[in-house]
Structure formats: C-alpha cells, structure tokens
Amino acid sequence: MFRRFERLVDPYLDHVEDDTPPDRLWPFLRTWTRPFHKLFVLSGIMSVLVAAIEIGLIFYMGRIVDLLARTTPADLVADHGLELLAAALFVLLLRPAVQALDVLLLNNGVLPQMGAMFRWRAHNQVLRQSVGWFENDFAGRVANRIMQTPTAAGDAIFQVFDAITFALAYVIGAAILLLDADPRLLLPLAGWLVLYGGLVRWTMRKVGPASKASSDARSMTTGRVVDAYTNIHSVKLFAHEGQELSYARDAIETTRETFAAEMRIFTLMDVALVALNGLLIVGVVGWAVILWLQGAASVGAVAAATALVLRLNAMTGWIMWALSTFFRSLGVVAEGMETIAQPIRLTDDPDAKPLVLTAGAIDFRDVTHRYGGGTGGVVDLDLRVAPGEKVGIVGRSGAGKSTLVKLLLRFYDPEAGRIEIDGQDIARVTQVSLRHAIGMVQQDSSLLHRSVADNIRYGRADAGQAEVEAAARKAQAHAFILDLQDPEGRSGYDAHVGERGVKLSGGQRQRIALARVILKDAPILVLDEATSALDSEVEAAIQDTLYGMMEGKTVIAIAHRLSTIAHMDRILVIDEGRVIEEGPHDALLAQGGLYASFWKRQSGGFIDTRAATEAAE
C-alpha cells in the first residue's frame, strides 16, 4: 500500500533544465513543485474533508446531549438506535479511512518524493555552474543550502495541508455550526478572529525575515566549520586551532543572536495567544450560557459551543505554530534560493554541437581575460599549437599560465577574442564534448572520497578492472596501491582514499591522477605541474610514461621544473599575460632572455622566480 502512494510521482523524472530559474519565492516553488500539483489538490480536498468530519462530530455530540436531555432510555434505543449505530460505524470505519487517505497522500505520496526531487534538481543545477562560481563561495555553505532547502520546502507544504487548510475549513465549519445554534454566537467568534488574524499577521511579518537571518547565519557557520575541516592540515601545521575556534565562534554567536531574536517573537506570540483564547472561551461559552438562561439555546447547543471553543483553544497554538513554521520554512527556502536559483552564466550555445576533433590544432586568437579586473590573466594572446605539437609554458607566478589552461577548458569565457580547436570556436561546442577531448593533470590533484579504482575509472567510466590496473602500472602506482588498506578493511584498489585523497601522500595522489588521465587517453593533453609532487626517483621512473602519453597528442605542459619541458617542440615564456619569448630550449638559451635567466638560476630544476625577477629588473 505504501509503495503504491510512493510511486505516484517519480522524483527523478526528466525535466527541462532552466539556465535562469525564477528568483522570486512563489514562482520558484510553483515551478519546482509542478509534478506534485495534482496531489496538492487531492491533499487539499482531503484536509477539508477531515476538518468537516471533525466539525460534524462536535455537532453530533451536541445532538446526543439534546437527545439524552429530552428522551427516556427506552425511547432513545427504540427511536434512535439505528442512527446511533450508524454514527458509531462511521466513527470506527469511515473516519479512519478518510484520515488514512489524507495522511497517505501527504506523508507517503508527497513529502519523501518532493524532498528527493528538490535535492536531485538542486544538485543538478549547482553542478552546472562554472568553476568560477564555485570559487566564490564556501563548499560547505553551498552543500548546507542544497540539503536544508528541500527539507524546508517539504515542511512548508506539510503545514499547508496538515494545518493551514484544515484550520481554515475548521473555522468556517465552526462558524456554520454556531450560526445554526444561534447567530449571536458568531459575534464573539468574529471578534476573536479579527484579533487572532492581527496576531498572525504581526507574527508572520516578523518570522519570515528573522528566519532567513537565522538560516543565513547557520549557513555561514557551516561554511566556516567545513572550511576548517577541509584545510585541517594547514590548521595543524600552523597551530591555529585557537584562531579557527575564534573564527567559528564569531559565526556561532551570530547564529545564536539571530536565533534568539527569532525565539523572542514566538514567546510574545504565545503570551498574546493565551490571552486571546481566554477571550474566546469566555465570550462564546458565556454567551451560550446567557442564551440558555434566556431559553434561546438548548443544552446541546451550549455543549457543542463549549466543545467547539475548547477545541479551537487547543488548536490555536498548533495553528499559530504551523503558520510560523510555514513562514520560517519559506525563509529557509528563500535563503537556499540565493544559491539554487542563481542563473547559469556559462552555458552551451543554443546551437552548440559536439566538438569534432580531427587533428588537435589549438588557436588562441587575440584572447584577453583579466577576471573582470585590470591586472592578471592574459592580454591580447595570439597562440597556435599545431596538431601533435608539444608546447611547454613557463613564467613567473601570476603570469597567466593557469588562466590560459582554464580558458582552453572553458572554465571561463574570454572577455575578448576566441579560442578554436580544429577551427571550431569552443564557445560554440558543448562543454561536455570539449572536456572529453582534453586530458589534464593538475599540480593539486584532489581525489574523490571513493575507492582507488573509482578514482582511476573517473577517466573513463566504462573501463574494466584490467584497464584500470594497466593505467596504474604505467603511472608507477600499482605497487603502492596493492599495499593500501582503509579503516573499513578495504584493501588494494577497493581502498577508499579519504576526502580529497588525504590518506595518500602527495606523490601517491599525483600518480593516481596520472593513471586517470592515461586511462582517459584524450587527444589533447594538458599537464599543469604534473610532476611537482613527485620525488626525483619516481619522476625519472615515469618520464617514459609521460612521453608515451604525449605520443600522437597535442600537448600543453606548464612547469617550473624546466627539465620536464626542455625536450618539448617549443617553449613559450609568458609574462604579465603575454608571450614574450618562444622557441626550442636551445634557441631560448641562446637568446639570453628571461628563459635563460630561469634556467641559470633554477635549483634542482625549479625556477627561482624571485632571482629571475631581480635579474630582469
């Protein structure tokens, strides 16, 4: 039975990916909950029906009181026995069935699936953002918003149908019941509703902003804490536990203050609510008793009115809490939208086609990118890498080397100019096909917290175990992988490497990253300090592997260790975003320029950029 309701909506249903999702709350919720709209209608109908049954029971209790007051036991059984039996069967059978259908629709049909759908789509939306987008926020804060927004949206929907719709139907039913007993009983109820509505309005106006501020503060705290955990090696290395605690304490204190401000609102609300409910009880019950004294109301009417206001008294706190939870949840959703609803700015062209790589020629045509500022990046860069050519790139830190690579991978779009691969503008091909054609090993090779095999297989998802191991052997990684064991008892290629690969040494991480790129076997190869984490012995052992990887490929290799690029077909020297020297190693040495300075002043094969800078000055 549960599975029948849980399968009413598929949370992973294909949907149109929106590069500019709605940035206002209600359009956002309406769009993202569209698959559930029919269930929302059914849930609303069932909530009204449940409320109507509750009001009907109170009305019928009043009728029973009147029957007891004016009928003898014998006549009651004779004249109303079947009616009472029918009422009992209704309460025992039909009422639970209606209630069961109501909660099954909401608890099993809507909430689990809607939470899964929100997380799935939100994760998909965030993954589509550019690398630059991620560089501008805490990963912990992004993840926190992805996880808490679906829960808050589910809470809001739950309150709508479990409390708000029920409450509205209940109040309308209560008014009808009092009107039937005596129209004058509506006066104290109407007065109370006006005051209650004012309290609700005041509370909701305060709760929404307070909840958003509290949610923002929680996300900031999460971001700071996760940032410390992610960089725990630096924290320990510099003995900055105290500084990190102080940094986190500021955020925790802000969270406490915003949460305390939110709770003050609820305290004032509770006190005011108790006073209002006292007016409701005295007003309706007292008026009903006065009407009974005047002979204008029956004992059953007084009993029904009393039961009704006592029920309303019990419900008002729940309704107010439901409303405040509803608006608090909307505040959390609004905060989450600051991440989820951000437009995707780096998108595929509407007419983008897969990259057709025929030779592997790369052309930078008058490319400028300075990250929106006046310095850094590359400026008016014209560069052609011929098919199969091996090009080395050197330069001081900040000269623009990494920018060149990021632009080639289209992590950013250039501010001016264009980049072509085999004559195709990379801004006009799909990003997926572009990055499939490029294999890259970075200086900081972070690994996923998965098995070694999964990390290597990231290069080619359909690779078999034999192919994975072959790639590891070429990267001189197979031997140490066989010796790995994690705390869960998994060993070898099944051992998990920890977050970002922290359980491995830098050299081990780099060799697994190399194995991953070897397995990918892309026609364009980018090496960004690919051997920087390796000791000289391991580097020498895999030099042949590196050159084997380069065979038949177009290669761009960034290096401070000049020995790794000395045998390239051509070497480019970049300074302040421009190519200032280029040519083979021997020709550049003969020029006596910046490259020659690097070569003379390197120690152990590394560029001494400070000495080179002083020499150039």
DSSP collapsed to 3 states, 439-454: EEECCCCCCCCCEHHH
Residue 607 has pLDDT above 60, yes or no: no
- Per-chain mean pLDDT for the chain: 85
Q: Can you say whether the dihedral through the CA atoms of 488, 493, 497, 500 is positive or negative?
A: negative
Name which residue leads in pLDDT, 530 or 556: 556
Residue 543 has, within 13 A of its CA and on its CB side, a CA count of 13
Cβ atoms of residues 610 and 566 within 8 Å: no
Element (H, E) at 385: strand 378-385
d(CA 136, CA 138): 7
The backbone torsions φ and ψ at residue 496, rounded to the nearest 5 degrees and listed phi first, read -90, 145
- Return the CATH number at 306: 1.20.1560.10
Helix (H) or strand (E) holding 391: strand 390-394
pLDDT in tens, 378-408: 999 999 999 999 999 998 888 888 899 999 9
CB atoms within 10 A of CB 367: 24
Residue 185 near residue 305 (C-beta atoms within 8 A) = yes
Residue 408 structure tokens:
């080639």
Determine whether 357 is exposed, middle or buried from the number of CB atoms within 10 Å of its CB (0-12, 13-18, 19+): buried
* Confidence tier at 537 by pLDDT (50, 70, 90): low
Q: Which pLDDT score is estimated for 415?
A: 92
C-alpha 474/C-alpha 441 separation (Å) is 15
Which band of pLDDT confidence, cut at 50, 70 and 90, is reported for residue 487? confident
Q: Is residue 288 domain-resident?
A: yes
Quick one: CA dihedral 492, 495, 499, 504, positive or negative? negative
Whether residue 95 lies inside any domain: the answer is yes
Tell me the one-letter amino acid at 464: G
- Residue 460 pLDDT grade (very low, low, confident, very high; cuts 50, 70, 90): very high
The length of the chain, given as a count of residues: 617
Answer yes or no: is 451 within a domain. Answer: no
CA distance 512 to 445: 9
What is the C-alpha separation between 198 and 159, in angstroms, rounded?
Answer: 20
Share of the chain above pLDDT 90, in %: 31
Kindly state the DSSP code that residue 386 receives in the 8-state scheme: -
Cβ–Cβ under 8 Å, residues 157 and 113: no
Give the model's pLDDT for residue 540: 67
Q: Chain centroid to CA 261: how far?
A: 27
Residue of 392, 360, 383, 395 whose CA lies nearest to 584: 392
Question: How many C-beta atoms lie closer than 10 Å to residue 228's C-beta?
Answer: 19
Highest mean pLDDT, choosing among 49-63, 74-88, 173-187, 468-482: 468-482
| Confidence grade of residue 508 (pLDDT, cut at 50, 70, 90) | confident
Tokens matching residue 237: 């290395």
Phi and psi of 529, rounded to 5°? 55, 45
Q: Say what the pLDDT of residue 614 is.
A: 44
Q: Output the CA torsion sign for 94, 99, 102, 104.
A: negative
- pLDDT, residue 481, reads 94
Q: Which domain holds residue 29?
A: 20-340
DSSP letter string, 326-382: HHHHHHHHHHHHHHHTS---S---TT-B----SS--EEEEEEEE-TTSSSSSEEEEE
d(CA 311, CA 62): 14
Give which of 48, 55, 320 is closest to 161, Cα–Cα: 48
Q: Does 126 map to a domain?
A: yes
> What whole-number percentage of the chain has pLDDT above 70?
94
Tell me, what's the pLDDT at 417? Answer: 95
Is residue 503 assigned to a domain?
no
CA 47/CA 41 separation, integer angstroms: 10
- Confidence category of residue 210, pLDDT binned at 50, 70, 90: confident
Put simply, whether the predicted model's pTM sits higher than 0.85 gets the answer no
Cβ neighbours, 10 Å, residue 366: 12
Residues facing 583 on adjacent strands: 571
- Put residue 228 in one of left, alpha, beta given phi > 0 → left and psi -120 to 50 → alpha: alpha
**Tell me: the pLDDT tens digits for 343-367?**
998 899 999 999 999 999 999 999 9
Collect all residues with Cβ–Cβ distance below 8 Å to 304 and sequence separation of at least 6.
58, 59, 61, 62, 65, 177, 181
On whether residue 367 sits in a domain, the answer given is no
Where do the H-state alpha helices sit in 231-294?
232-237, 241-293
On whether the CB atoms of residues 43 and 108 are closer than 8 A, the answer is: no
Gyration radius (Cα) of the chain, Å? 35
Q: What is the pLDDT of residue 10?
A: 92
**Are 324 and 266 within 8 A, CB to CB?**
yes
Q: Quick check: 222 and 215 in contact, CB under 8 A? A: no
Instruction: Report, as an integer, the average pLDDT of 174-197.
Output: 80
| pLDDT of amino acid 434 | 95
Question: DSSP assignment, residue 34?
Answer: G
Does any domain span residue 590?
Answer: no
Element (H, E) at 169: helix 165-181
Residue 176 has pLDDT above 70, yes or no: yes
Strand 362-369 to 438-441 pairing? unpaired
Lowest pLDDT segment from 30-44, 139-153, 162-176, 283-297: 162-176
Confidence (pLDDT) at 62: 78
101-133: b (≥16 Cβ within 10 Å) or e: bbebbbebbbbbbbbebbbebbeebbeebbeeb
Contact 338, 378 (CB under 8 A): no
More confident residue, 314 or 127: 127
Residue 476 pairs with which residues in a beta bridge? none
Q: What's the confidence (pLDDT) of residue 473?
A: 92
pLDDT at residue number 583: 93
What gap in Å lies between CA 120 and CA 112, rounded to an integer?
12
Helix (H) or strand (E) holding 311: helix 299-340
Residue 253's pLDDT is: 93
| Residue 615 pLDDT | 41
The token pair at 53 is: 């049954």
Q: Where are the alpha helices (DSSP H) in 483-533?
A: 506-520
**Rounded distance between C-alpha atoms, residue 27 and residue 6, angstroms:** 26
The span from the CA of 522 to the CA of 459, in Å, is: 9
Q: Residue 439: its pLDDT value, please?
A: 92
Question: Which helix or strand (DSSP H or E) is residue 579 part of?
Answer: strand 578-583
> How many domains does the chain contain in total?
1
The residue that leads in pLDDT, 603 or 175, is 175
Mean pLDDT of 170-195: 79
Instruction: Give the mean pLDDT of 23-28.
Output: 87
Question: For 413, which DSSP code?
Answer: -
* Domain annotation covers residue 190: yes
**Residue 514 near residue 475 (C-beta atoms within 8 A):** yes
Structure tokens, 443: 């200086």
